[in-house]
Amino acid sequence: MSEKIIDGKAIAEKVREEVRLGVAQMQQEHNYVPGLATVLVGEDTASATYVRSKQRTCEQLGIRSLGYHLPADTTQEALEQLVAELNANPEVDGILVQLPLPKHLNEEAVLNKIDLAKDVDGFHPVNIGRLAMKGRDPLFIPCTPAGCMRLLEETGVNLKGAEAVVLGRSNIVGLPMAMLLQKADATVTICHSRTKDLKAHLQRADVLIAAVGRTEMVTGDMLKPGVVVIDVGINQKDDPTAKRGYRLVGDVDFESAKEVAGAITPVPGGVGPMTIAMLMANTLRAAEIGLSKK
Ligand code: NDP
């Protein structure tokens, strides 16, 4: 792989290996195995695939995986009751409620109920609040932004004083990403659907995090030479030559951007593999926090 291409698969494997070692050490020293509870509501195929993949990774790393699958018509009360039980269960270190939830459920209310010390997705408002505040640290950082930060770190990017553009401002990616970058002393610009002149912002960016969900919307001619590009987007692009009739591409047009960028993540094989790896790292951390209280 060219030095320019940031190898998310290899870096994710490095993170998984760190977790595997941490879990083995915990078992040896404390006779304790971390546990992750996954909560899936309904039959959404993509969500079921993500949950299976998280459970499989747990097994590979020696983490105990407890799967809960509730029917699509589950009530708010039943879901919150399950979260309360998992909060109280000493065998559960991390709780992951797979999003999005069916429309009739109040996502925010459910996330608010997760014990802060088990919030391995990092979506609890207190964790996000701590991320935003100077001098405070969250217990857990949301997995995808944490993965992006690790990719930047492994690439050797100096963020101090760097101009960083975060494209997208969602609660799960763009917003926490921007907060992490400013905590790392970058000068951060957040761009979104109402941004008037995206290219003008991009031309100043030393670092670009693209998290929009728009097929290849950023092209090489929009970028500053040498920029480090982390492409979070996962989009389906029609491709009659592909088995499924489409292939996955990012929010950045890889071919034109790689000619200009100093370093760039591919899609797939960039940010994607990092998200689950960071979830595993957060679960190990949750178990460490749990043990420190016992
Ligand atoms: P959301 O749909 O929640 O947010 C998209 C953001 O992009 C919004 O802030 C929106 O702005 C902004 N946006 C939309 N259109 C434009 C536009 N034309 N110009 C500028 N900004 C625009 O998406 P997510 O943050 O959940 O996900 C973003 C992408 O990342 C998706 O492709 C998703 O599949 C992928 N993803 C990948 C993960 C991984 O593990 N690799 C994990 C999570 C997500 P506004 O706020 O104004 O509406």
Distance, in Å, from the CA atom of 150 to the CA atom of 63, rounded to the nearest integer, reads: 22
Q: Which fold has domain 143-273?
A: Rossmann fold (3.40.50)
CATH number of 30-116: 3.40.50.10860
The overall pTM is greater than 0.95: yes
pLDDT, residue 81, reads 98
> Which whole number is the average pLDDT over 73-97?
98
207, containing H or E segment:
strand 207-210
* Ligand 1 atom showing the smallest separation from residue 192 Cα: 21
Q: Scanning the structure block, which residue is given the tokens 């069916």? A: 102
CA of 214 to the centre of ligand 1 (A): 8
For ligand 1, atom 13, the nearest C-alpha belongs to 193
pLDDT, residue 148, reads 98
Beta bridge partner(s), residue 210: 167, 231
For ligand 1, atom 18, the nearest C-alpha belongs to 193
- Give residue ranges with CB within 6 A of ligand 1: 144, 167-170, 172-174, 191-195, 211-214, 232-235, 271-272, 275
Per-residue CA distances from 267 to 10, 102, 237, 264 (Å):
14, 28, 12, 10
277, containing H or E segment:
helix 272-293
Residue 21 has pLDDT above 70, yes or no: yes
Residue 2 has pLDDT above 80, yes or no: no
Residue 130 has pLDDT above 80, yes or no: yes
Q: What share of the chain is helix, strand, coil (3-state, %, to 5)?
A: 45, 15, 40
The percentage of residues in the chain with a pLDDT greater than 70, rounded to a whole number, is 100
* Ligand 1 atom showing the smallest separation from residue 217 Cα: 18
> Which whole number is the average pLDDT over 263-282?
98
Residue 41 has pLDDT above 70, yes or no: yes
Domains 30-116 and 143-273 agree in fold: yes
Active-site residue, 54 included? yes
**Per-residue pLDDT tens for 5-15?**
999 999 999 99
Beta-carbon contacts of residue 201 (< 8 Å; ≥ 6 apart): 165, 189, 191, 195
**Per-residue pLDDT tens for 160-206?**
999 999 999 999 999 999 999 999 999 999 999 999 999 999 999 99
CA of 212 to the centre of ligand 1 (A): 3
* Ligand 1 atom showing the smallest separation from residue 270 Cα: 41
Beta bridge partner(s), residue 235: 249
Please name the amino acid found at residue 108.
E
Active-site residue, 121 included? yes
The percentage of residues in the chain with a pLDDT greater than 90, rounded to a whole number, is 98
Confidence class of residue 59 from pLDDT cuts 50, 70 and 90? very high
- Helix and strand numbers, DSSP H then E, in the chain: 10, 10
Residue 146's CB is within 10 A of a number of other CB atoms, namely 23
Based on its alpha-carbon atoms, the radius of gyration of the chain, rounded to whole angstroms, reads: 19
pLDDT, residue 293, reads 86
Ranges of each domain in the chain: 30-116, 143-273
Alpha helix (H) residue ranges in 36-159: 45-61, 76-88, 107-113, 125-132, 143-155
Confidence class of residue 1 from pLDDT cuts 50, 70 and 90? low
CA of 79 to the centre of ligand 1 (A): 27
pLDDT, residue 164, reads 99
Catalytic residue among 93, 121, 206, 251: 121
Distance, in Å, from the CA atom of 273 to the CA atom of 270, rounded to the nearest integer, reads: 7
pLDDT, residue 131, reads 95
For ligand 1, atom 5, the nearest C-alpha belongs to 212
CA of 58 to the centre of ligand 1 (A): 27
* Ligand 1 atom showing the smallest separation from residue 167 Cα: 21
Q: Is 62 exposed, middle or buried (0-12, 13-18, 19+ CB in 10 A)?
A: middle
Active-site residue, 98 included? yes
CA of 23 to the centre of ligand 1 (A): 33
Q: Is 187 helix (H, G, I), strand (E, B) or coil?
A: strand
pLDDT, residue 78, reads 98
Q: Is 40 helix (H, G, I), strand (E, B) or coil?
A: strand
